[in-house]
Amino acid sequence: MGGETDDGARPARKEFIVSKSTRATKALEQAGVAFSVHSYDYDPDAEKIGLQAAAALGEAPARVLKTLMALVDGQPVCVVVPSDREVSMKKLATACGGKSARMMKPADAERVCGYKIGGVSPFGQTRRLTTVIEEQALAEPHVFVNGGQRGLQVRLAPGDAAALLKAVVAPLVA
């Protein structure tokens, strides 16, 4: 039952169907933001999904941003940082004017943002949340951000992303 093939030899790989039209891409289109869509083979077993996306796209991890959901003083926030870096909870709380921060549980994150883990985008979330972007990301000429589903990234100027999201730009990484 555990995803094995008929002969029990090795687990079957789950195929992911990628649609290039998502709530995230629609939000970017409606805002008139220039972007391109890039699909890749999503690996649900990857230890670090953001790093796997960077490798699959052939891009530097600093340019492939991961979208995380956190709580600052109990309030949900969206956090966008380079895929090869970790968020400092102290810096996140400070950036949001709060006292404490912690990562949101996966089920809560999916419920709040409306996306599945591995496909969380800061664009087109079901609720408008405070979004905080790592300041180093704005030094890049372009970045990749999840396009709203597993195996889909959008490439755009980081300043355009920050402006559309009305994001707080701050030092966030540990």
Instruction: Report whether pLDDT(13) > 70.
Output: no
pLDDT grade for 17, boundaries at 50, 70 and 90: very low
Q: Give the mean pLDDT of 98-120.
A: 96
pLDDT grade for 19, boundaries at 50, 70 and 90: low
Residues with Cβ within 8 Å of residue 89, at least 6 apart in sequence: 70, 100, 101, 102, 103
Residues with Cβ within 8 Å of residue 47, at least 6 apart in sequence: none
Going along the chain from its start, the domains and CATH numbers come out as 37-170 (3.90.960.10)
For 135-161, give one letter per residue: b (16+ CB within 10 A) or e.
bbbeebeebbbbbbbbbbbbbbbbebb
Predicted confidence at residue 12, as pLDDT, reads 44
Q: Is 120 exposed, middle or buried (0-12, 13-18, 19+ CB in 10 A)?
A: buried
Q: Is 82 exposed, middle or buried (0-12, 13-18, 19+ CB in 10 A)?
A: buried
Q: What percentage of the chain exceeds 90 in pLDDT?
A: 81
- Measured CA to CA in angstroms, residue 120 lies from 65, 99, 111 at distances of 11, 25, 11
Distance CA 80, CA 69 (A): 9
Distance CA 50, CA 118 (A): 8
pLDDT grade for 7, boundaries at 50, 70 and 90: very low
Query: What is the strand order of the sheet 75-82 is part of?
Result: 101-103, 65-72, 75-82, 130-134, 168-170
Which of the 8 DSSP states describes residue 54? Answer: H
